[in-house]
């Protein structure tokens, strides 16, 4: 990347960072009506959305499409291995469609209903949606999915489904785990200093996922220590493989929390509900991503941090808007979007 491209990208990242909505503001939106939420989002982001008959799916797709448009601009200065890494990272958004598709097909949901749940990922789409929706049964769909870039992720999800049935948490966690393992492998092909900086941002993210997956597997599902450890990515920053195996052998949530390295122990020591732990860990990991975006010097890791933060923002707003459109009360919306209770 030449000096001009680097300067352009740094400026663009600063502009995008200033448009992100912080977590406290997002939580405050829960108390507002939908029209006011959209007005506030537009004022903070300088993005404009059209409400058509209060159809939440239309607004959700606008949020997703705007993010994809910004990502196309963001990754334009990159080429080769960096560009390939970012294209794969942005597939994180399409994982939502993959999850909807697998759940819908295995539950016998009508194809039109499944399609209504999809979000628009524009030029980053890799799923042959029309062909997948036309498949006659779930296993034909899985065979077709195994010809896509998501083949390894789908095989893992299929094994989890066959072992545990259509449990949404286990299915989602398996898909996310497969994605992050593949993404971590692709990060290794970046230039050395880029790999080092990106791995720090990704490691904070994976500490969050690994810890919460571990707590769910061991204490919500009663899986063995070995099985729970196997279902983790084992590539975090503070929670490495040895640490995760040690934690997996513990017999209670309180014991796990007490044994965590700081700052995780201090963050979670007075929290006793896993869903609240998830909210705290997500907020903390996003604060670290914000630091990498706003204070870092490496453009690859700053760009990746922005994608991480934008994904969280879009996901939160999509869940909030859907809750508002369906008439849920504030407490239920808080639970749906993962805000602390």
Cα–Cα distance, 17 to 11 (Å, whole number):
10
pLDDT digits (tens, 9 = 90+) for 161-177: 788 776 778 888 889 99
Cα–Cα distance, 312 to 212 (Å, whole number):
17
Concatenated DSSP letters of 215-249: HIIIIIS---HHHHHHTS----SSS-HHHHHHHHT
Q: Given pLDDT bands bounded at 50, 70 and 90, which one contains residue 302?
A: very high
Res 93: pLDDT: 92
Q: What is the mean pLDDT of residues 50-66?
A: 73
Res 92: pLDDT: 92
In 3D space, the residue among 265, 267, 248 whose CA is nearest the CA of residue 257 turns out to be 265
Res 2: pLDDT: 67
In this structure, are 154 and 257 located in the same domain? yes
- Tally the residues of the chain: 341
Burial of 157 (C-beta count, 10 Å sphere; 0-12/13-18/19+): buried
Looking at the predicted structure, is the pLDDT value of residue 88 above 80? yes
In this structure, are 37 and 117 located in the same domain? no
Judge contact between 94 and 125, C-beta under 8 A.
yes
In this structure, are 202 and 340 located in the same domain? no
In this structure, are 171 and 235 located in the same domain? yes
Residue 203 CA from chain centroid, whole number: 14
In 3D space, the residue among 328, 304, 279 whose CA is nearest the CA of residue 186 turns out to be 304
Q: Given pLDDT bands bounded at 50, 70 and 90, which one contains residue 335?
A: confident
Place of tokens 């697998």: 102
In this structure, are 194 and 128 located in the same domain? yes
pLDDT digits (tens, 9 = 90+) for 177-227: 999 999 999 999 999 999 999 999 999 999 999 999 999 999 999 999 999
Percent of the residues in the chain that have a pLDDT greater than 90, as a whole number: 60
In 3D space, the residue among 311, 272, 243, 324 whose CA is nearest the CA of residue 70 turns out to be 311
Q: To the nearest 10°, report the CA torsion of 267, 96, 64, 130.
A: 180
Please state, rounded to an integer, the average pLDDT across all residues of the chain.
90
In this structure, are 86 and 213 located in the same domain? yes
pTM exceeds 0.85: yes
How far is the CA of 72 from the CAs of 83, 84, 124, 295, in angstroms?
10, 13, 9, 23
Q: In total, how many domains does the chain have?
A: 2
Looking at the predicted structure, is the pLDDT value of residue 52 above 70? no
Q: What is the mean pLDDT of residues 5-10?
A: 89
In this structure, are 259 and 286 located in the same domain? yes
Find the domain containing 130 and state its range.
Answer: 59-293
Judge contact between 29 and 40, C-beta under 8 A.
yes
Question: And the tokens for 47?
Answer: 């993005």
Question: And the tokens for 54?
Answer: 């209060």
In this structure, are 167 and 238 located in the same domain? yes
Question: And the tokens for 8?
Answer: 């352009």
Q: What is the mean pLDDT of residues 20-32?
A: 89
Q: What is the mean pLDDT of residues 43-60?
A: 72
pLDDT digits (tens, 9 = 90+) for 243-293: 999 999 999 999 999 999 999 999 999 998 998 999 899 999 999 999 999
Q: How many CB atoms lie within 10 A of CB 110?
A: 10
Judge contact between 274 and 265, C-beta under 8 A.
no
Phi, psi (rounded to 5 degrees) for 178: -60, -40
In this structure, are 248 and 326 located in the same domain? no
| Comparison of pLDDT for 171 and 72, the residue scoring more | 72
In this structure, are 30 and 113 located in the same domain? no
pLDDT digits (tens, 9 = 90+) for 315-329: 999 889 888 888 888
Place of tokens 């992720």: 153
For the ranges 89-98, 137-146, 323-332, the one whose mean pLDDT is highest:
89-98
Backbone torsion region of residue 47, taken as left when φ is above 0, otherwise alpha when ψ lies between -120 and 50, otherwise beta? beta
Res 268: pLDDT: 96
Res 89: pLDDT: 96
Burial of 238 (C-beta count, 10 Å sphere; 0-12/13-18/19+): middle
In this structure, are 170 and 241 located in the same domain? yes
In this structure, are 53 and 66 located in the same domain? no
């Amino acid at each position: 990347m030449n000096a001009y491209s680097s300067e352009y990208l740094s400026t663009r990242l600063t502009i995008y960072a200033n448009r992100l909505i912080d977590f406290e503001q997002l939580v405050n939106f829960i108390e507002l009506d939908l029209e006011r939420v959209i007005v506030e989002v537009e004022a903070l982001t300088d993005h404009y959305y059209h409400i058509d008959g209060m159809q939440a799916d239309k607004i959700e797709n606008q949020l997703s499409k705007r993010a994809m448009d910004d990502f196309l601009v963001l990754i334009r200065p990159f080429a080769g291995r960096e560009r390939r890494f970012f294209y794969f990272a942005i597939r994180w958004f399409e994982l939502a469609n993959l999850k909807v598709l697998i759940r819908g097909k295995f539950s016998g949901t009508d194809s039109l209903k499944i399609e209504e749940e999809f979000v628009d990922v524009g030029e980053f789409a890799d799923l042959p949606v029309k062909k997948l929706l036309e498949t006659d049964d779930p296993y034909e769909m899985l065979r077709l999915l195994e010809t896509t870039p998501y083949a390894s992720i789908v095989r893992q999800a299929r094994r989890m489904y066959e072992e545990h049935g259509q449990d949404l948490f286990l299915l989602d966690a398996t898909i996310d785990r497969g994605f992050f393992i593949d993404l971590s492998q692709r990060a290794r092909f970046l230039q050395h200093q880029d790999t080092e900086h990106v791995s720090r941002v990704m490691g904070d993210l994976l500490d969050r996922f690994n810890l919460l997956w571990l707590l769910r597997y061991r204490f919500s599902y009663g899986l063995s220590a070995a099985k729970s450890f196997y279902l983790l990515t084992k590539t975090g920053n503070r929670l490495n493989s040895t640490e995760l195996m040690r934690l997996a052998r513990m017999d209670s949530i309180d014991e796990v929390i007490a044994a965590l390295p700081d700052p995780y122990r201090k963050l979670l020591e007075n929290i006793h509900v896993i869903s609240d732990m998830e909210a705290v860990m997500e907020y903390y990991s996003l604060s670290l991503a914000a630091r990498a975006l706003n204070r870092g010097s490496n453009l690859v890791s700053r760009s990746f941090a922005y994608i991480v933060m934008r994904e969280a923002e879009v996901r939160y707003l999509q869940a909030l808007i859907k809750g508002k459109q369906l008439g849920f009360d504030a407490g239920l919306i808080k639970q749906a979007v993962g805000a602390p209770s």
